[in-house]
A and B are shown apart, each in its own frame.
Chain A
Amino acid sequence: MSDLNLNSLYQQLILDHYRKPRNKGELPEKTVEIHMANPVCGDEIRLQLQIEDDRIVEARHVGQGCSISQAAVSMMTNLLKGKGLAEAEGLAQRFTAMMHGNEEVVRDRTMGDLRALQGVSKFPVRIKCALLAFDALQEAIKKERAES
C-alpha cells in the first residue's frame, strides 16, 4: 500500500463537483472578473462576480483544470451567493488555513462542501490547485474595493 491516502484526496464529492461543476458559465451581470492561471499545469479559472453594495449577488466561473481546482471553484461559488465581502474574505482565509494544515476548520459547517478538500493539505504540490479559486476571490475583492 502507498503511504499516501488517495481516498481522502479523491472523495466522491470532489469527483462529483469535477464532473458536474456548479455555477459554471458566463455571468452577463458580472461587475468584476478575475482570470487566474497556474502556468505550471495549465489550470485556469475566470471567476465572475456580481457585487452590489458590498454583497455578492451571483458568482460563476469559466475555465478548465484538474479535479481539485475545478471542484474547489465549484464548491466556493456555491457558498458565495449572498455573502458580504468581509464574509467572503473570511471564507477564503479559513480555507487557506485548512490547506495549510489547520484541522479545526473541517468542523466548521459554514465551509459546506469545501470541507471535503481537507485531504489536499496532505499533498503539498496540489495545494495551489485548491487555492486557485480563492486567490481569484481575494483578487476580486481587492479589485472591487479599489474601484468603489
Chain B
Amino acid sequence: MYQAVSTFDVNKIRNEFPVLNQVVHGKPLTYLDNAATAQKPRSVLDVLSRYYREDNANVHRGIHELSRRATLAYEGARNRIAEWLGASEPAEVIWTRGTTESINLVAATWGMDQLKEGDEVLLTAMEHHSNIVPWQMVARRTGARLRYIEMDDEGKLVLDDLDALLTDRTRLVAMTQVSNALGTVNPVDRVIEAAHEKGALVLLDGAQAVPHMEVNVSDLDADFYAFSSHKMCGPTGTGVLWVRKGILEKMSPYQGGGEMIGIVGRDESTWADIPHKFEAGTPNIAGAVGAAAAVDFMEHVGYESIKEHEVGLLRYALDRMGELSDLSIYGPKDLKERSGVISFALGDAHPHDIATILDSEGVAVRAGHHCAQLVMKHLGVAATARASFSLYNTTDDVDRLMDGLQVVQGIFGR
C-alpha cells in the first residue's frame, strides 16, 4: 500500500486522460468540475471502442459468437463490480443509467411495495435532488412521511437527536455518503447502526464517494447502494444499484419488457431471476464494460494513493484560497470530514459570473445550486461556485484557479 503512494505520479496519470491536454479560450484547460463528471482515461475509452469494433451484439439471446462474447463481457463487468464493491454475489448488482435511476428504482419498487400511510422515510438536508424527489413522489402516492436529519453551520449532519428521528414508523433512511454540494463526508456507519437497531433499512447515495474512497457494501452493512460510473472516470449513462439479496428477491420488477421475463402469457407473465428481473430491454452493454474498466483503473492507481493525493490538493487549495480576504468557503473545516469539493463565494460576484470569468481563463468550475436547493437554503444563498478535484488534478490547477479568482476580484473589485 505504501509503495503505491510513493509510485503515484500525477503527470503520468494526466497522460492517461487525452481530454486534459487542450487549450480553452487560449488557456490550458484546468478541469475542476469533477463532482459533476470526471474525465475518462485511455483504458476506458479503449474498451468502449474495442467493444463496438469487435464484439457488439445483443446479450443473453443470441446463439452466435458475437452474442456470446457480448454476454461474457456484460456479465463479466457485473462480476467485476460485485467483487470490487464487496457484494456477496453478482446477482445483487443491477445495471442502471446512473445514481438517479438507481434511487428511482428503489423508490418505485421497494418504496411502492412497502411504504404505507404514516410510514416514515428519513432523508438528510444535504441530499441531491435525486435522493429527495423520488421519495416525495412515492410519499404522495403511499401517504408516507418524509423527515430530515438537519445540518449545522459547517454543513455537517446533526446526529444528536438521531434516536428521536428514528421512530417505530421509520422504514428507510436514504442518505448521501458524501455531499456533492459541500464535500461533507458523512458518518454513515453510525446512522446505519442506529437505523438497523430500529428495524429501518438504509440506502446510501455513493455517487460522490466512489471516485474518492474504497467502498465495501458488506463492511458498511447498508441495504441499498447507488452510484454512477461517470463520476469515477467511467462512461456516462451507466450506473449501479446494489441491493442486499434477501431484499432484492422480494422486490417487484421495475420496468417491463424483454430480458426481465420468464414466461409471457396474454394476461400475465412471470419474472426472470435477479438481477435480470430489473433489467428490461437491451442494456447499456458498452457502458457496463466501460464501468468495469473504470474500476480497474481506479484500483490500479489505488484508492490509498488517490486519497493521499486529493487530501494534499484540498489542503493546498484551502490554504491558497484563504489568501483572498473576501472569499468564503462553505463546508466542514476538518479535512477528515470533507472530500475534494470546495463550494465558495467571492465578494459580491455572483457564482454565475465567477464561473464565466474562470472559464475565460480556461478554468472549468460549476456555479449554481448543484441540484441541492435544500443545502443552498440552509446556507442562505441562491447558488455557490464549486471547484471539485479528481485524481488527475495538480497544484498547478489550484494556482490557475487562484489566478482566475484574482481576475474576478479585478473585475468585481472595481
Chain A interfacial positions (CB closer than 8 Å to B):
1-4, 6, 9-10, 12, 15, 18-19, 40-44, 64-68, 123, 125-126, 129
Contacts and interface: CB of A to CB of B under 8 A. Distances in A.
6 contacts: A10-B411, A41-B352, A42-B369, A42-B383, A66-B352, A66-B353
B360 A6 contact: yes
B350 A4 contact: no
B187 to A, nearest CB: 30
Given A41-B368, A42-B369, A2 B353 contact: no
Contact of B27 (A2, A12, A18, A43): A2
Interface string B346-376: 0011111100110111100001110000001
Contacts, number: 60
B350 A66 contact: yes
Contacts of A67: 349-350, 353
B181 to A, nearest CB: 13
Contacts of A68: 352-353
B47 to A, nearest CB: 32
A4 B368 contact: no
Nearest to B404: A2
Nearest to B368: A41
> Which of A18, A67, A126 has its CB near the most chain B CB atoms (within 10 A)?
A67
Interface in B258-274: none
B54 to A, nearest CB: 39
Given A1-B26, A2-B25, A66-B352, A41 B411 contact: no
Contacts of A2: 25-27, 360-362
Nearest to B410: A6
Contacts of A6: 357, 360, 407, 411
Given A2-B361, A41-B367, A65-B350, 19 more contacts: A1-B26, A3-B25, A4-B359, A6-B360, A10-B353, A10-B411, A15-B411, A15-B414, A19-B348, A42-B369, A42-B382, A42-B383, A65-B352, A66-B351, A67-B349, A67-B350, A68-B352, A126-B352, A129-B352
Interface residues of B, number: 25
Contacts of A40: 368
Contact of A65 (B25, B348, B369, B382): B382
Given A2-B360, A12-B414, A43 B26 contact: no
Nearest to B411: A10
Classify the interface of chain A: helix, strand, loop or mixed.
mixed
> Which of B362, B369, B383 has its CB near the most chain A CB atoms (within 10 A)?
B383
A66 B360 CA distance: 17
B52 interface: no
Nearest to B357: A6
Contacts of B26: 1-4
Given A3-B25, A42-B368, A64 B356 contact: no
> Which of A4, A18, A123 has its CB near the most chain B CB atoms (within 10 A)?
A4
A122 to B, nearest CB: 10
A68 B27 CA distance: 24
Interface string B294-305: 000000000000
Contacts of B362: 2
Contacts of A125: 356
A64 B382 CA distance: 8
Interface in B112-133: none
A10 B410 CA distance: 11
A2 B362 CA distance: 8
A123 B361 CA distance: 14
Contacts of A18: 350
A9 B352 contact: no
Interface string B14-46: 000000000001110000000000000000000
Contacts of B360: 2, 4, 6
A29 B175 CA distance: 46
B37 to A, nearest CB: 16
Contacts of A66: 350-353
Contacts of A129: 352
Question: Which 5 A/B pairs are nearest by Cβ-Cβ distance?
Answer: A66-B352, A3-B26, A66-B350, A4-B360, A42-B382
A129 B414 CA distance: 22
A14 B333 CA distance: 36
A73 to B, nearest CB: 14
